[in-house]
Amino acid sequence: MAHARMFDDDDPLLERIRKLCAELPGTHEKVSHGRPAFFTKKVFAYYGGSFKPDGEWVQHPRSVMFQLDAGDRQALLEDGRTFVPAYLGPSGWIGVDLDEDTDWTELCELLDASYRLTAPKRLIAELDALAS
């Protein structure tokens, strides 16, 4: 069963996320479960997410979901902008809502951390070489 498309290509926040992800070596985009997904061999970020706290779905259409190590994840969960996404949350994923007050430097760091958890070693080495 195909999932309904849950994003607008004209969304300026999505465009900004696309540009940030495109700066990471070997990154591609696909639509997965109705949302933009950014990946190398594995997905490291999704644009948009949802969770189901009390039996009702709560949508976060202007958010980014990524995977973090346990320490970073726990610290971020204490921030009111975050949510534990349905299905992916138990595997270490977290969602961060985006708005006019988004700290884009922090978001770049979070995308980088998720990328490093999922990308092949050669792409991580390429990223490190770009930073030198």
Identify whether 88 is part of a domain: yes
- Read off the pLDDT of residues 48-69 as tens digits, 9 standing for 90 and up: 999 888 888 999 999 999 999 9
Q: Residue 1: its pLDDT value, please?
A: 65
Q: Residue 53: its pLDDT value, please?
A: 83
Residues 53, 57, 58, 64: what is their CA dihedral angle, to the nearest 10 degrees?
Answer: 100
Identify whether 108 is part of a domain: yes
Number of domains composing the chain: 1
The pTM assigned to this predicted structure is: 0.94
Identify whether 74 is part of a domain: yes
Mean pLDDT for all residues in the chain: 94
Q: Residue 55: its pLDDT value, please?
A: 82
- Read off the pLDDT of residues 81-126 as tens digits, 9 standing for 90 and up: 899 998 999 999 999 999 999 999 999 999 999 999 999 999 999 9
Identify whether 49 is part of a domain: no
For residue 22, give the nearest of 103, 111, 105, 100 by alpha carbon. Answer: 111
Identify whether 50 is part of a domain: no
Residue 96: domain span: 9-30+60-124
Q: Residue 41: its pLDDT value, please?
A: 96
Identify whether 16 is part of a domain: yes
Residue pair 26/119 in contact by the 8 Å Cβ criterion = yes
Identify whether 41 is part of a domain: no
For the stretch 100-130, what's the b/e string if a residue is b when 16 or more beta carbons lie within 10 angstroms of its beta carbon?
eebeeeebeebbbbbbbbbbeeebbeebeee
Identify whether 94 is part of a domain: yes
